[in-house]
Structures are given as structure tokens and as C-alpha cells.
Structure 1
Amino acid sequence: MAKQFILFLLLLGLSASCHPMQKTVKNDTEKIITITVRNPKVEIAGQFENMASLYEKSHPLVRIQTETVGGISDDFSDLKTQMAIGQGPDIFTNVGYAATGEWLDYLVDLSEESWVGDARPDTLAPVTVEGKVYGMPMNIEGFGVIYNKELFRKAGVDQPPKTFKELEAAAQKLNQYGVTPFANGYYEEWKLGHHLTSLAFAEQSNPEAFIESLSDNRTSFTDSDSFRNLLRFVDLTLTYGNPHAATADYYTEMDAFRSGEAAMVVQGNWVEPLLENQVPKLEVGMFPIPLDNDGDAQLVTGVPSYWVVNKQSGEAEIREAKRFLRWMAESAEGRRFQTERLHFIPAFQTIDPPKTGLSGSVWKQYKQQERQSFNWSSYSPPLKEAFGQVFKRYVNEEKSKRDTLQDLDHAWRQHVSSK
């Protein structure tokens, strides 16, 4: 009987000692918060995940799940569907201006965040509505022509072209040397409808006034020298570029450039991580796209997109999403990762920008030139898609120059003037 009593006490003690341990484990599990991030840059997919892992080490109760989209895929094609059913990511991106208004119901007000006061001048305007800030600038980027310096030297092209005539002459020399001048990838409509179209807008003496006059039907694309010159530039890339440009995608054109098969690629400094990872010794430079012969071409630069927080997310997820963005912008680890690993040009005044590489070159030109901003932020995503389709038909030789310009007018009236 005594043995049974002792056994009973031992079992009781074990039971009492086990329950608190089980409860503690359960509580720790409940404290772990997972935030989802939609990353629109395929060039930094691995680096971004590494940065998220670094954050998790110093925040053990937070898990970050990253979904990388972009490149060939349309990074907004399924986002609206996700948001409509309440399953959108906690952090995603927004290009600003018209898109900010379109997505405003889903965006958390970030006006009180500490990084707001550190943002570089004018970078928050595209995500500011009635004095409230709804996004954190991702970085500053530049769009132009990236070129292989060694191939230029071997072909006898001593300096980056500053005029269209010089660019045409450089393409002829490269072609005679036996290298493809341009690596063209026009499969994705974002390159045609976003980046190159933005260049033609930026070439206007007053882009804002031009946009306003388009909306009021006081002018048209058929009357625009810069858009006619843009088509001439596209013609040049097609004449001195790889065949089947309309079906060649982003990765195809980058492979041609990285391998030395082509001497130039029309892209931005965002490709630097791709080049560094695969051909770190490749000597490259970048120059503005000269649409005319004035010799005053400038890079199209600005903030490409903004990190925004999903208003539909839970209270804990919103809190942790803000903390993660704050860590990227303000912590020593986050800042170092952005500049050294992601090759970002920081949009914050207290972060030193890169001094070398493509990003260093873009930053130098960004400081020296009059601003040529990414004007695609000024018009709606459906219009950008329509522009891309119009230019795609031109690349496919389905439309003449005049028809293409008229189609741009039609797209503008359909998506802007009718509103």
C-alpha cells in the first residue's frame, strides 16, 4: 500500500511538472508572428531572403515569408484578387501617384514613422495624399543604356554616345567589329509601356504641362517630337539588335549582355546584382538614352516604387511590418545590406549612397542633372499596359509609326480623358 502511495505521489509530481512546460511551449508558439512580403525585384530575390533571415535572427518571434515576382511575370496581375478575398501580403509595393489613389483603401498611414523625416526631397510626393504618407521609398534608380566598356574599346568607340547620331555610329562600329550592338528583350510590356514611354514623357520641356494638355485634348502624341524620336530609337535597336526581339524576354537579353554576345542593353542599375553574381569582372558603364542630337540627354531617375503596408492585415502583422520597414531604413544592418548587397541607392539622406558600380554612376548623374523622373507614376496601371501593347505591335511590325502614335492617343483618351 505504501509503495502504491509513493508511486501515486511520483506520478502526481510528474504531471504537475509537465503541464507548465507544455503551456510555456504553447505560449511561445502563439507569440510567433509571420509577415508576408511581396518583393517585385527578381534581381535581388536571394539577397532579400538573406536580409529577411538576418532580421529574424535579431527578432526571434518574427518570421518573414517572401514572394518574389516580376521579370517575365506581371507583378500586379494577381494582387487585386488576393486583396479582394482578404489574403493579400502584409507588405507589397506601389508605384505612387495614380496607383496610390487606386489602392488607398488598402494602405496603412505611415506618416508617424520615424524615417519620414529622413526621406530625400520630393521622394514622398507620389505616396502622399492630403498630407498623409502611405509608403516608404524603396530606393532611387536610373534607366538608360548599360554598355560593355571592353567591347566599346575593341570596336573603336572611345566615348559613350551623347547624341542619336553618335549612338547610331557606335552601333555601326560594333556591328562591323562582329558583336551585336543591342541585346533586345521586348517580350515584357513593362519595358516598352513603362520605361521607354517614361523617357519620352521626360524629354518634354514640361512633362506635367504636356500630360495636362493631353488630358485636355490640346495636344497629341502624333504632335510630339519626343515620341517620334522614341520610335526612331526603337528602330535603331531593332536594326542593330538580336532577331525576334518581341519574343526575347528580360532574362534572354541579360544573358546576351552578360556573355559578351551584345555590347549594350537598355536597362537600369537594378541589374547590378545580376551582373555582380554571374560576371563580377565585367566592366560596364551607363549613359542616358539620346533621343535627339542636342547632346543634353539625361538619365530617367527617381523612386521606382514604395513599400506599403496592407490595411487588411491583423494588428500584430501591421505592427511587425512597420518594425521591419523601420529596421531596413534605420538599423546599421539594414542600411548596410541595402547598399552593399542589394546595391540600392538609398532614398534617405542619412544613408551614404554607393560610390562605385552602376549605382554609383547613377547617383553621380542624379545629383548633377535636372531631374528626369519616372513619369509613369503619373498615369494609371491600365494605361501603362495599353501603352505596352501599342509599342509591342510596333515592334512586331504590325503598325506604322503614324498608326502607333494614333494608337497612343486612343489609349490616352480611353483611360484618361474619359475620366
Structure 2
Amino acid sequence: MRRSIMLVLALVTAMTGTLSGCGNAVRGNEDVKTIHIFQFKVELLEPLKELKAEYERTHPGIRLDIQSVGGGSDYASALKARFASGDEPDIFTNEGYEDRETWFEYMEDLSDQPWVKDLDDFAREPMTVDGKIYGQPMNLEGFGIIYNKDLFKKAGITGLPRTLNELEETAQRLKESGITPFANGFAEYWILGNHLGNIPFAQQEDPAGFIAGLNDGSGQIPGNPVFEQWVDLLDLMVKYGNPYPLTTDYNAQVTMFASGQAAMMHQGNWTQPQIDGINPDLNLGMLPAPINNDSAQGDKLAVGVAANWVVNKNSPVKEEAKEFLNWLVTSETGKKFITEKFQFVPAFKTMEANEGVTGDLGMVVAEHAKSGEIWTWNFPGFPKGYNHDNSSSMQAYIAGVITRKEMLQEFQESWNNLKFR
């Protein structure tokens, strides 16, 4: 028995040494510095592998350890777990505004970095505190009403709708031609709570001032004319949409649209790769989402920064991390990755979206960003949990469980309950 125990201990010791040796090999020798990167855009898995290989080839003293958590996984919880365990990444992604405040104590001030001067002006806001920049924007994204140009043509639609009445006329023409006007994925909280929920905030005369009023009690959602008009748009989308929208998720929505079963959907340019995977020949456009009959309001898309690279100010390799981020947006190789491999709409004045790979939708977003015809992204600044609450209220309204008045009152109560948590 004693001999058996000694043999087991010897085996465990040998295995431990082997694993330890493997760990050292992975880390490399002491002259190699590892930058640990934690991010949530899982669609970048393959191009990030290529980026890693290229950077390590041209920077022999640096190793990139890139981990991606997203899709069906909760990135925010995973990031908190990493910090709680002491396994802090050197670079991580942050959505800005409310998320910026959550992680502010860990953020390195990047204001002195060479790329800051080249930022698009509105791309600065999500990561700016007291005039200082704490994150590098990954890209610009935009959302509105994506439409199938060929189905519009089939229905005899020649002019694009810019007002709510014109949008209803368009939907009616499509319906009469046997085409479902809208694919609605209202099973997803973020489709409702983030993107549709952004519209009545963005179209306030002063979105930031309106949000400040909600926070100090001087502003109210019930009775606000922009919110009242916005419900008219929601009603129109439901009236002319697919059956059972509350059980239709994102994948089903995009599949329905990409396969030609619907002519429009309220989504963003991030859907281009999935659409192309189903039908790469679709002729696509993107329209603003009108809430009233003021045609002057119907020329803007909601454009903003989807995520930002942040450097952990406690990182032992923060200078190397900053050098990597600078290379990413200033070197020709890095720019090529952003515009071609990542298929991003860049957030920098020194870069142009690549028409050959960005796709129809990305080019529309790039054009609006360049012209300044944009609505702001306000949902990243909502109180934590508000987008979940307001999506639940929207779902109850769509299901006929509550009235319009009750939905808007629930929006207000949710904001009041969450704003200072």
C-alpha cells in the first residue's frame, strides 16, 4: 500500500513538473513580454488570430494573449471575474458612458497618445472625462431601417420614405405585393431596449439635457411629445411585421430578412456578414427611422462607437499595451486589419471605410458619419438595468398587456428606481 501511494505521488510530481514546464513555454522566456487582451467581439476571432501572428512577427519581444468572450456568454460578468481573481487583463473592451464609470478606476489616461488627434469628434465622447481620453474606439456602427432594394422595386416603390406617413405608405405597398414589410426580432431585449429604445432619447432637442433632467427630476417621460411620437413608429412596425415577433430572436429576424421573407428590419451594419452568409447578392440600403412627418428629421442614422480598447493602468506592460494600440491605428498594416480584415467603419479621420469589404450597410454608416447626419447613441448611458426594464415594458405593450400610457409610466418608474444605483 505504501509503495502504491509513493508511486502515485511520484507520478503527480512528474505531471506537475511537465505542466509547469508547458506553462513556462507558453509564457516564453523572461525577455518576452505578454500583453493579455480580453474582448467581446467574437466575430473577430479569426482576424484577431491573424493580427496576433503579424504583430508578434514584427515585434519579437512581444506576445499577444487574446481571449474573446461574447455571443451567448456574458462578457461583463467574465471581466468582473477576471479582476476578482487577480488575473487582470492588460487591455480590455469597454462600451463607454455608464460602463466607463464602472471601470474608471482601472483605466489609463490615453490623452497623450499620437492617435487621439485623429479621432472623429463624436467618437471621443463615450470615453472622455474632464477633457481626458480613456479609451481608443474600435469602430463606428450605425443602425436604422435596413431595406431590400430589390423587394422595394418589386413592389413599385421608387421614392424612399422620410416621414412616418411615407413609411406606412411604403409598408402598405409591400403588403399589397405579398411581401412582409418588417422582420421584427422582439424576443431580444437589446433590439428593443437598446436600439429602438434609443430613438426617443436621440431625437430630443437636447438628448444630454433630457437625460440630465430625468436624473435630477426636472424631466419626465410620460407626456413627452417625442416619446408619444416614437410609440407611433413601434405600432407601425408591429402592424406591418411578421407574426409572433415576441418569440422571434435576432438570428431568426436576420434570417427572415436575408432570405427575402421581409423587406425591412430595424438593425445595424453589424448584420452584413450574417446577411452575406445567407445571400451575398442582396442589394441593401439603410433608412432613418422616422417618428413623425417632419421630413427634415428623416435624414439621420444612429451612429456611435460600439466598443473601446482600454489599457489597465495597473498593468506591468501598459507601455507595451499603448504601443500596440498606437500601431493598430497608425501603421499601414494595422489600418489594413481594421478596414479589410475586421470590415470596420473606422472612427478616425485618417482612415476610410473599404468599400470592397465593408459592404453596403457599412458604407451607408460611413457616409453619415462623414457628413455628420447622425443621431447620437444614448443607450450606453442608461442606468444599469434600464434597457432590460424598458424592453420588458415594450414587450408587455406589444402583447397588449399594458397600454401606451402605462408603458411610458413604467419607463419613468424604472429610470427613477435605477438612476442612482
TM-score (structure 2 length as normaliser)? 0.84
Describe the SS at the equivalent of 1:221: coil
Moved more, 322-331 or 406-415: 322-331
Relative to structure 1, is the Cα distance of residues 27 and 173 closer, same or farther in structure 2, using a 3 angstrom cutoff?
closer
2-side partners of 1:302 and 1:26: how far apart?
A: 38
Does the 8 A contact of 1:106 with 1:311 survive in 2? yes
SS at match of 1:223: coil
Kindly state the Cα deviation for residue 285 of structure 1 after the two structures are TM-superposed. Answer: 0.5
For the structure 1 residues 243 and 31, does the alpha-carbon distance in structure 2 shift closer, same or farther, using more than 3 Å as the test?
farther
Query: Unpaired segments of 5 or more residues in structure 1?
Result: 1-24
* CA–CA distance in structure 1, aligned partners of residues 274 and 261 of structure 2: 16
Q: Do the aligned residues in 2 keep the contact of 1:86 with 1:312 (CA within 8 Å)?
A: no
Please give the per-residue CA displacement for 1:2-46, whole angstroms capped at 9, x wherever unaligned. xxxxxxxxxxxxxxxxxxxxxxx8995444444443333344443
User: What's the counterpart of residue 392 of structure 1?
Assistant: 395
* Secondary structure of 2:142's aligned partner: strand
Gaps of 5+ in 2: 1-24
- Secondary structure, counterpart of 1:398 in structure 2: coil
C-alpha change, 1:228 and 1:109, in structure 2 (3 Å) is same
Q: Which residue of 2 aligns with 1:135?
A: 135
What is the alpha-carbon distance in structure 1 between the residues aligned to residue 26 and residue 121 of structure 2?
A: 48
Q: CA deviation at 1:163?
A: 1.0
- Would the aligned equivalents of 2:148 and 2:282 in 1 still touch at CA under 8 Å? yes
Name which of structure 1's ranges 407-416 and 60-69 shifts more when overlaid on structure 2.
60-69
- Distance in 1 separating the partners of 2:411 and 2:29: 55
1:64 aligns with 2:60: no
1:217 maps to: 217
- In the alignment, is residue 115 of structure 1 matched against residue 115 of structure 2? yes
1:382 corresponds to 2:401: no
What pairs up with 1:280-319 in 2 under 5 angstroms? 280-295=280-295, 296-297=297-298, 298-313=300-315, 315-316=316-317, 318-319=318-319
Determine the C-alpha separation between the residues in 1 that align with 2:56 and 2:120.
28
Contact 1:273 1:343 in 2 (8 A): no
Quickly say closer, same or farther: Cα 1:26–1:46, change in 2 above 3 A: closer
| Structure index of larger Rg | 1
Change (3 A) 1:326 1:213: same
For residues 317-356 of structure 1, the aligned pairs below 5 Å read: 318-355=318-355
Structure 1 residues 383 and 319, CA gap change in structure 2 (3 angstroms) = same
Distance 1:201 1:30, change over 3 A: same
2: CA distance between counterparts of 1:157 and 1:102? 47
Letter in 1 for 2:312: N
Secondary structure at 2:76's aligned position in 1? coil
1:407 is displaced (CA, Å) by 0.5
Q: Which moved more, 1:195-204 or 1:220-229?
A: 220-229
- Contact kept, 8 Å, 1:43 with 1:271, in 2: the verdict is no
After superposition, the Cα gap between the structure-2 partners of 1:74 and 1:227, relative to the gap in structure 1 and judged at 3 Å, is farther
TM-superposed CA distance for 1:113, in Å, is 2.0
Counterpart selection for 2:370 from 347, 367, 370: 367
Residue of structure 2 in register with 1:5 after alignment: none
| CA 26–82 in structure 1, closer or farther in 2 if over 3 Å, else same | closer
Identity score, percent: 38
Distance 2:32 2:416 in 1: 50
Number of aligned residues: 392
Query: How many angstroms apart in 2 are the aligned matches of 1:342 and 1:148?
Result: 24
In 1, the alpha carbon distance for the partners of 2:218 and 2:292 equals: 24
Change (3 A) 1:26 1:331: closer
Change (3 A) 1:407 1:153: same
Deviation, 1:121, is 1.8
Matches within 5 A, 1:209-288: 209-288=209-288
Q: Is the 8 A contact 2:187 2:249 kept in 1?
A: yes
Measure how far apart 1:208 and its partner are: 2.0
Counterpart Cα distance in 1 of 2:271 and 2:54: 23
Q: What is aligned with 2:7? A: none
- TM normalised by structure 1 equals 0.85
Shift of 1:120: 1.8
Q: CA RMSD in A?
A: 2.6
For residues 346-389 of structure 1, give each alpha carbon's deviation from its aligned partner in whole angstroms, at most 9, with x where no partner exists. Answer: 11121123456222212222333444210123333333333333
Distance 1:369 1:114, change over 3 A: closer
Check whether the contact 2:302–2:375 (CA below 8 A) recurs between aligned residues. yes
